[in-house]
């Protein structure tokens, strides 16, 4: 899992690693005891089997210890969860509408909107026996014709919905995955702290081209974002042009 | 005089000749055999679908199938493995073993038993036939989320109908098991003295009765949405697509325990036998299984952390899900404590049970990771989830089923299977199952979504490893078939078969006669004979 470029993606990553190391520790103890037993307590070594069949003390201990470990895990997890859901006071709001099989982005305050679908190079290479080696295509299946552009450091709120079936908008580096559901508008937010291009995919099965609707987010400096938005406004909304 | 009557009775009720024996049988052993054979066939059909999937994913780019067909393969693979392979296998084991383990002459409702089996081949015949219909087989995933599932072609009503039939069959099977266990135990077989396999099946059967009607309701609403103008799940008509997911997972989460609780029962029988030591904490195992069953009803929405639930809902489902780790941990600790200071030997059933404990626990660890809601948002619908549930289902449920088959096969056939082939099957399966599914953890963490026919080039290496493992795992199952086909050739099995098993099934001859326990056995006498 990537550490990502937002505070929350880093927190999520830390949670993941914390639980992972707990699992490793528990695994070492449990599997360790089991392996010792497998080697020591075998009939071929001539051991006589013991005959104990319960011990209330042991059972209370190995019920209580997991409860304590779970409590230790649940507190930071809940804290992160609460922050993830706090989408108040955004700097920018973008409506994301999913279609079979592309994304539509509409910047609420900018009069900018456009479709974003799989780029030409991947479209050419994707059919069965296309004759094009996927390794020769840059970012095969992970590149779009028009990425979502957002400014660095701004709190961006996405309002996600769908026009047809359920889709899901995911960018691992932003630690955001939210279902796009017809009739429902879901909110998520992120504040990217690094500029760069971040890639993800639709993650809810949405029909035959589910594997062919990537998400690409370009995080740019605020000045560059304003300049980009201005050129977009000049060229006018591109809704009809891209259908 | 009584003997004469009993003899005449036996003669009259022996197996019929030819096909009629199987079509009309009401004998729990025959029906159990049919369930097991059916499930083995389904295991191979579902498995070959998995191989279609893995072959396509061997390297990036589409080589063999079109995306629509790929999606119907993932859908059918899941439906067949869940409803056609794992569940019938456990019902088959229940049919064969529960009457013999509790000292009953047969299942309580033998005619219904026949009926609940014979529905299954019809249900799966219908389901498989959809692959030939206009628009192809169902391709919306086994979860059948609307609105996508409503885009299915001609297959749609047949999909719904076959799911209904599977549900009816499961409910009838579950009723039969509950009635048998509660009413037909030998006189001094108290509830808390019942073997763990019987206990876990009793709990499982209640889960089945509770949730299969929920699934039936959900798919019926899909049917009326499609054909009768309702809008349960259609946003345009004021419905809510998310409601389907809630209803489905209210069925779906108990369903995963339906597939694992009997597996817990199986290994709780096998580990004590080959450790030569009683099961540690029998009663706490029963309570743990009941806890798991209860919790399974209040955690369903952890499959839905990304649908946009209120914060309080997400926190509730996260905490409830984490709680499941406690009773599950108790079970694992008890198995380890059973082995501790035993005198173990490693026959094939024991090997499969040990692999079960190791690998199911790994699946449990990834389950705990998935319970952490913020992290789940990153894992959700990626290969990490695929790795998780295959770890609990393949080296979990399926290894337990195989362990059970090896454990009881000599009782069924009267001959020892080939231990050499059994061990070969075990080692091949265990190695390849890890080669197949372990890399999927890395794929998921690297960002590969599930249910995609093609992927970006950075995922190529791990996919190649997983595909090679899958082909290896598939081929090694042929060894299993060979073991079963040659099972009648081995040396004669004794009544007790193994050195130290306990349980009434080991007091009857091997092979078990067509009718067992016409008069209830004395449980205590049987127990003492083992000392």
For chain A, the C-alpha Rg in angstroms (whole number) is 25
B487 class by beta-carbon count within 10 Å (0-12 exposed, 13-18 middle, 19+ buried): buried
The pLDDT of residue B525: 75
Return d(Cα B360, Cα B379) in angstroms, integer.
19
Task: Express each pLDDT in A185-240 by its tens digit.
Answer: 999 999 999 999 999 999 999 999 999 999 999 999 999 999 999 988 877 655 44
Chain B residue with the nearest C-alpha to that of A170: B378
Query: Residue B297 pLDDT > 60, yes or no?
Result: yes
Q: Which of A24, A25, A49 to mutate to test the interface with B (most CBs of B within 10 A)?
A: A49
Q: Is residue A136's pLDDT more than 60? A: yes
Closest CA of chain B from A48, distance in Å? 6
List A residues 181-200 in contact with B (Cβ-Cβ < 8 A). 181-184, 186-187, 200
Residue B512 near residue B100 (C-beta atoms within 8 A): yes
Within 8 A by CB and 6+ apart from B333, the residues are A30, A58, A59, A62
Dmax over Cα atoms in chain B, in whole Å? 80
Residue B213 to residue B28: CA distance in whole angstroms: 25
CA distances to A9, A66, A186, B318, B439 from A23, rounded to whole Å, are: 21, 11, 33, 17, 18
Of A34, A47, A186, the CB nearest to B308: A186
End-to-end CA, chain A: 35
What's the confidence (pLDDT) of residue A50?
85
Q: Give the chain B residue nearest A12 (alpha carbons).
A: B375
B18: distance to nearest CA of chain A, Å?
46
pLDDT at B201 (0 to 100): 97
Q: What is the model's pLDDT at position B361?
A: 96
Among candidates A48, A177, A187 on the partner chain, residue whose Cβ is nearest the Cβ of B343: A48
Spatial distance between the Cα atoms of B31 and B27, rounded to a whole number of angstroms: 6
- Point out the residues of B that are catalytic: 77, 106, 142, 169-170, 253, 255, 257, 268, 302-303, 328, 331, 450
Rounded to 5 degrees, φ, ψ at A113 are -150, 150
Q: Looking at the partner chain, which of B62, B147, B380 has a beta carbon nearest the beta carbon of A177?
A: B380
Contact A37 B341 (CB under 8 A): yes
Rounded CA-CA distance B262/A137 in Å is 49
Please determine, for residue B460, whether its predicted confidence score (pLDDT) is greater than 50.
yes
DSSP, res B83: I
Nearest CB to A20; choose among B235, B369, B454: B369
Do the Cβ atoms of B339 and A37 come within 8 Å?
yes
pTM of this structure: 0.93
A175 close to B (CB below 8 A) = yes
Percent of the residues in chain A that have a pLDDT greater than 70, as a whole number = 97
**Per-residue pLDDT tens over the stretch B20-47:** 889 999 999 999 999 999 999 999 999 9
pLDDT of residue A234: 77
Write the Ramachandran bin of B136: left for phi over 0, alpha for psi from -120 to 50, otherwise beta.
left
Q: Is-contact B370 B388, C-beta < 8 A? A: yes
ipTM over 0.90: yes
Largest CA-CA distance found in chain A, in angstroms, rounded: 87
In this predicted structure, the answer to whether residue B512 has a pLDDT above a threshold of 90 is: yes
Asked whether A142 and A125 are in contact (CB, 8 A), the reply is: no
d(CA B11, CA B9): 6
Per-residue pLDDT, averaged over A140-147, amounts to: 94
Average pLDDT (A126-135) is 88
Question: In Å, how far is B28's CA from the nearest CA of chain A?
Answer: 32
State yes or no: pLDDT of B153 exceeds 50: yes
CB B514 within 8 A of CB B427: no
Task: In whole angstroms, give the CA distance from residue B410 to residue B489.
Answer: 11
Q: What is the pLDDT of residues B155-176, one digit of tens each?
A: 999 999 999 999 999 999 999 9
**Residue B314 above 50 pLDDT?**
yes
Dist CA A37 CA A33 (whole Å): 6
The pLDDT of residue A88 is: 87
How confident is the model over B238-260, as pLDDT tens digits?
A: 999 999 999 999 999 999 999 99
Contact state of A59 with B306 under an 8 Å Cβ cutoff:
no
Touching B: A residues 92-151, CB under 8 Å: 125-130, 132-135, 137, 139-142
- The model's pLDDT over A75-121, given as tens digits with 9 standing for 90+, comes to 999 999 999 888 889 999 999 999 999 999 999 888 899 999 999 99
CA distance B421 to B433: 18
Cα B475 to Cα B428: distance, rounded to the nearest angstrom: 9
User: Given this model, what pLDDT does residue B6 score?
Assistant: 44
Q: Does A30 contact B361 at a Cβ distance shorter than 8 Å?
A: yes
């Amino acid at each position: 899992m990537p550490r990502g470029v937002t505070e929350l993606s880093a927190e999520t990553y830390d949670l993941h690693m914390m639980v992972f190391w707990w699992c490793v520790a528990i695994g070492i103890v449990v599997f360790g005891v089991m392996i010792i037993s497998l080697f020591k307590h075998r009939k071929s070594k001539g051991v006589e089997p013991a005959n104990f069949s319960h011990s209330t003390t042991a059972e209370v201990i190995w019920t209580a210890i997991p409860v304590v470990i779970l409590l230790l895990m649940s507190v930071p997890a809940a804290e992160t969860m609460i922050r993830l859901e706090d989408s108040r006071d955004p700097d920018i709001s973008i409506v994301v509408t999913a279609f079979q099989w592309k994304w539509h982005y509409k910047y609420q305050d900018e009069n900018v909107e456009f479709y974003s679908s799989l780029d030409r190079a991947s479209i050419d290479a994707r059919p069965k026996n296309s004759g094009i080696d996927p390794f020769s295509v840059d970012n095969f299946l992970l590149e779009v014709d028009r990425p979502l552009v957002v400014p660095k450091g701004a709190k961006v709120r996405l309002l996600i919905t769908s026009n047809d079936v359920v889709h899901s908008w995911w960018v691992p580096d932003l630690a955001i995955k939210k279902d796009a559901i017809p009739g429902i508008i879901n909110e998520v937010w992120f504040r990217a702290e690094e500029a760069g291009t971040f890639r993800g995919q639709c993650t809810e099965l949405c029909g035959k081209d589910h594997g062919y609707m990537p998400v690409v987010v370009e995080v740019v400096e605020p000045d560059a974002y304003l300049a980009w938005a201005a050129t977009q406004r000049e060229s006018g909304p591109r809704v009809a042009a891209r259908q | 005089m009584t003997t004469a009557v009993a003899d005449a009775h036996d003669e009259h009720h022996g197996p019929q000749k030819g096909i009629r024996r199987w079509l009309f049988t009401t004998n729990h052993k025959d029906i159990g055999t049919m369930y097991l054979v059916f499930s083995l066939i389904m295991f191979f059909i579902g498995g070959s679908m998995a191989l279609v999937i893995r072959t396509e994913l061997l390297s990036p780019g589409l080589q063999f199938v079109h995306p629509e067909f790929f999606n119907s393969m993932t859908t059918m693979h899941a439906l067949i493995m869940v409803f056609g392979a794992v569940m019938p296998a456990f019902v088959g084991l229940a049919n064969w073993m529960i009457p013999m383990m509790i000292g009953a002459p047969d299942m309580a409702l033998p005619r219904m038993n026949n009926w609940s089996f014979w529905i299954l081949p019809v249900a799966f015949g219908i389901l498989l036939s959809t692959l030939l219909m206009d628009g192809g087989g169902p391709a919306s995933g086994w979860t059948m989320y609307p609105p996508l599932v409503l885009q299915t072609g001609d297959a749609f009503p047949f999909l719904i109908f076959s799911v209904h039939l599977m549900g009816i069959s499961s409910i009838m099977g579950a009723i039969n098991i509950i009635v048998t266990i509660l009413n037909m135990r030998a006189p001094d077989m108290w509830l808390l003295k019942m073997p763990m396999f019987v206990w876990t099946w009793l709990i499982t059967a209640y889960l089945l009765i509770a949730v299969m009607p929920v699934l039936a309701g959900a798919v019926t609403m899909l049917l009326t949405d499609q054909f009768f103008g309702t809008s349960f799940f259609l946003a345009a008509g004021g419905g809510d697509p998310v409601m389907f997911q809630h209803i489905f997972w209210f069925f779906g989460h108990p369903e995963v325990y339906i597939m694992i609780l009997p597996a817990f029962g199986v290994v709780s029988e096998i580990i004590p036998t080959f450790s030569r030591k009683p099961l540690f904490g029998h009663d706490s195992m029963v309570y743990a299984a009941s806890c798991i069953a209860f919790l399974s009803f209040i955690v369903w929405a952890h499959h839905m952390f990304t649908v946009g639930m209120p914060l309080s809902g997400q926190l509730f489902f996260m905490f409830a899900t984490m709680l499941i780790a406690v009773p599950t941990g108790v079970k694992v600790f008890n198995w380890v404590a059973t082995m501790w200071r035993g005198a173990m030997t490693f026959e094939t059933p024991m090997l499969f049970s040990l692999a079960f404990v190791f690998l199911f626990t790994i699946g449990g660890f990834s389950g705990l990771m998935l319970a952490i809601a913020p992290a789940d948002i990153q894992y959700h619908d990626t290969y990490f989830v695929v790795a998780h549930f295959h770890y609990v289902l393949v080296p979990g449920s399926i290894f337990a089923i195989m362990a059970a088959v090896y454990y009881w096969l000599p009782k069924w056939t009267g001959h020892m299977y080939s231990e050499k082939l059994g061990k070969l099957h075990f080692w091949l399966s265990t190695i390849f199952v890890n080669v197949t599914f372990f890399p999927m953890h890395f794929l998921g963490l690297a960002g590969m979504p599930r249910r995609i026919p093609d992927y970006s080039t950075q995922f190529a290496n791990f996919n190649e490893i997983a595909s090679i493992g899958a082909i290896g795992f598939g081929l090694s199952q042929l060894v299993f078939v060979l073991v079963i086909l040659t099972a009648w050739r081995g040396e004669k099995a004794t009544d007790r078969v193994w050195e130290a098993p306990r349980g009434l099934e080991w007091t009857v001859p091997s092979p078990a006669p067509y009718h067992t326990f016409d008069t209830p056995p004395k449980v205590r006498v049987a127990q003492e004979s083992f000392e």
